[in-house]
Amino acid sequence: MRYYLSLIIALLVTSVYSEEKTTLYDFRYWTAPDHTRIVIDTEEDTLFSISKNNDYIVISVDDAEVLSDTFSNIFFEDERIQKIRIKRDRETIKLIFHINKDYRVKHFTLTPNTKYKHHRLVVDIIDLEAKSSVKATKPVKDQTLSNRKIILVDAGHGGEDSGAIGKNKSQEKNVNLAIAKKLVANINKNPELKAILTRSGDYYIPLTKRITIAQKEKATMFISIHADSVENSSAKGASIYTLSEKGNNSKLAKQLEQSQNLVDQFGGVETVIDNDQFLKNILTDFSRKDRDIQSQQLAKEILKELEKIGPVHKIEPQKANFVVLKSPTIPSVLVETAFISNPTQEKRLTNSKQQQKIANSIYQGIIDYYLNLEKDL
């Protein structure tokens, strides 16, 4: 009898034990100028601990298994990570990251959403050397650029947030960045202008941070580059949005508002802040009316140029309540360059020559806007 009982207990323990095994589904890395982000797709109750030493970080996960399909994704080339090792200590998996910079580590977890079905563990390796180098170059920059107009060019999405995905699997974030980079190159050829990118690679920047970058850089214009997506794959053409705090009642704009303003969920922010509350705090006495009129002017000029190179979806600039357009003091527009959900347009969006054409048109729109502004003075 006693033998029988202990057998049952042994069986129970084994079955409970295997049920508790947690799966690490996948691993992704995003390299930003000031940090490297490690993302691990996990189960809900994954037990993990993170310890930091001088030159390495250990992420330990209890009773874990790694899928053979994604095992190789653990190993990633990154300027800050010298070496990645995996060690099994009984049922605990230890991921060891050797870091070759002075760094700080921060982590948080994210719950599933429409884009990510698994829970995510996010570990940010914050590069302390990168920060100090930015500070060192600042004063020189301020002096030399005092007379130039500074334009912030924002490539929508990035990193964990791919944006819309085309029928042929092109990701909006990559198209946006390619066009944004071409636009920046155009602008910077003009000695009176200076363009700065919110992001220069494949990593995520929270929406409100995109606005604070504009403020920090003393930008006088904000242009966010995106590509549209709808169910109907024949929808085509460019459209431009300016801010309306009230929002827009059209179905497409409503959908867009939702998808634009929720991207922080996908991209991953440590604490979800109330964006509207945040923005109230940075609003100054500046006349919002003036900003809105200027944004509208800028939108019209850009749309006029885009019309010359391809179809436009809406002939007039549209209004929507996009968080990223809420810079309190500067004209801000969001350009939906084309529909990535339309295979013909997707092809155009991924073609370097076509991207250049789009960038040229936006650039010409900016110039026309400034010329008009001078006329009015």
| Sole residue written with tokens 């995003």 | 30
Return the number of the residue (171 or 220) whose C-beta is nearest Zn ion: 171
Question: Exactly one of 159, 163, 267, 365 binds Zn ion (CB under 5 A); which one?
Answer: 163
Rounded to a whole number of angstroms, the minimum distance from the CB of residue 277 to Zn ion is: 24
Select from 137, 131, 142, 143 the least CA-distant residue to 102.
131
Q: What letter represents residue 15's amino acid? A: S
Give Cα separations from 310 to 304, 313, 357, 367 (angstroms). 11, 10, 10, 20
Rounded to a whole number of angstroms, the minimum distance from the CB of residue 324 to Zn ion is: 10
The answer to whether the beta carbons of residues 157 and 139 sit under 8 Å apart is no
Return the number of the residue (60 or 200) whose C-beta is nearest Zn ion: 200
Return the number of the residue (163 or 267) whose C-beta is nearest Zn ion: 163
Rounded to a whole number of angstroms, the minimum distance from the CB of residue 154 to Zn ion is: 10
Using CB under 5 A, which of the segments 188-196, 221-229, 290-298, 299-307 binds Zn ion?
Answer: 221-229
Dump the DSSP string for 8-32: HHHHHHHHHHHHT-EEE-EEEEEE-
x-or-dash pattern for Zn ion, window 176-215, by CB under 5 A?
Answer: ----------------------------------------
The answer to whether the beta carbons of residues 22 and 43 sit under 8 Å apart is yes
Return the number of the residue (156 or 267) whose C-beta is nearest Zn ion: 156
| Footprint (CB under 5 A) of Zn ion, residues 243-282 | none
| Sole residue written with tokens 């500067």 | 330
DSSP H or E run through 326: none
- The whole-angstrom distance between residue 136's C-alpha and the CA centroid of its chain comes to 26
The answer to whether the beta carbons of residues 303 and 192 sit under 8 Å apart is no
Size of the site for Zn ion (CB under 5 A): 3
Which residues are registered as beta bridge partners of 109? Answer: 121
Return the number of the residue (24 or 324) whose C-beta is nearest Zn ion: 324
Applying CB under 5 A, does 226 fall inside the site for Zn ion? yes
Using CB under 5 A, which of the segments 88-96, 159-167, 288-296, 303-311 binds Zn ion?
Answer: 159-167
Using CB under 5 A, which of the segments 163-171, 230-238, 302-310, 315-323 binds Zn ion?
Answer: 163-171
DSSP H or E run through 108: strand 103-110
Report the alpha-carbon distance of residue 334 to residue 163 in Å, rounded. Answer: 14
Using CB under 5 A, which of the segments 162-170, 193-201, 298-306, 365-373 binds Zn ion?
Answer: 162-170
Question: Exactly one of 32, 118, 156, 208 binds Zn ion (CB under 5 A); which one?
Answer: 156
Helical H runs in 262-287? Answer: 263-267, 275-282
Return the number of the residue (41 or 161) whose C-beta is nearest Zn ion: 161
Return the number of the residue (125 or 263) whose C-beta is nearest Zn ion: 263
Using CB under 5 A, which of the segments 12-20, 161-169, 269-277, 355-363 binds Zn ion?
Answer: 161-169
Rounded to a whole number of angstroms, the minimum distance from the CB of residue 344 to Zn ion is: 19
Return the number of the residue (54 or 258) whose C-beta is nearest Zn ion: 258
Q: What letter represents residue 120's amino acid? A: R
Q: What are phi and psi of 314, to 5 degrees?
A: -130, 130
Q: What angle do CA 317, 323, 326 make, to 5 degrees?
A: 75
Rounded to a whole number of angstroms, the minimum distance from the CB of residue 264 to Zn ion is: 13
Binding region for Zn ion (CB under 5 A)? 156, 163, 226
